[in-house]
Amino acid sequence: MDKSLRRPVIAGNWKMNNTPEQTKALINAMKPLVADADCDVVLCVPFIDLYAAMEAAAGSNIKIGAENCHWAEKGAFTGEVSADMLKAAGVPYVIIGHSERRQYFGETDVTVRNRVRAALNAGLKVILCVGEVLAERKLGITEQIVCAQTEIALAGVSEEELKNVIIAYEPVWAIGTGETATPEQANEVCAVIRALIARLYNKDAADRFVVQYGGSMNDGNAAELLAQYDVDGGLIGGASLVAEKFAKIVEAASK
What residue spans of the chain are helical by DSSP H?
Answer: 20-34, 50-57, 83-88, 99-104, 109-122, 134-139, 142-153, 159-162, 183-200, 203-208, 222-226, 243-253
Nearer of residues 165 and 236 to ligand 13P, judged by Cβ = 236
Query: Which one among 32, 90, 123, 176 touches ligand 13P, defined by CB under 6 A?
Result: 176
128 is an interface residue for ligand 13P by CB under 6 A: no
Q: How far is CA 237 from CA 76, 151, 182, 255, in A?
A: 31, 25, 17, 22
Do residues 212 and 44 touch, judged by C-beta distance below 8 A? no
Catalytic hit among 67, 98, 100, 107: 98
Query: Which one among 34, 237, 248, 253 touches ligand 13P, defined by CB under 6 A?
Result: 237
Do residues 131 and 146 touch, judged by C-beta distance below 8 A? yes
Catalytic hit among 100, 132, 170, 251: 170
8 is an interface residue for ligand 13P by CB under 6 A: no
Write out the binding residues for ligand 13P, residues 136-175 only, by CB under 6 A. Answer: 170, 175
Query: Which one among 65, 97, 214, 233 touches ligand 13P, defined by CB under 6 A?
Result: 214
Shortest approach of ligand 13P to residue 204 CB, angstroms?
A: 28
Residues in the chain, overall count: 255
Residue ranges binding ligand 13P (CB under 6 A) = 13, 98, 170, 175-176, 214-217, 235-239
Catalytic positions: 98, 170
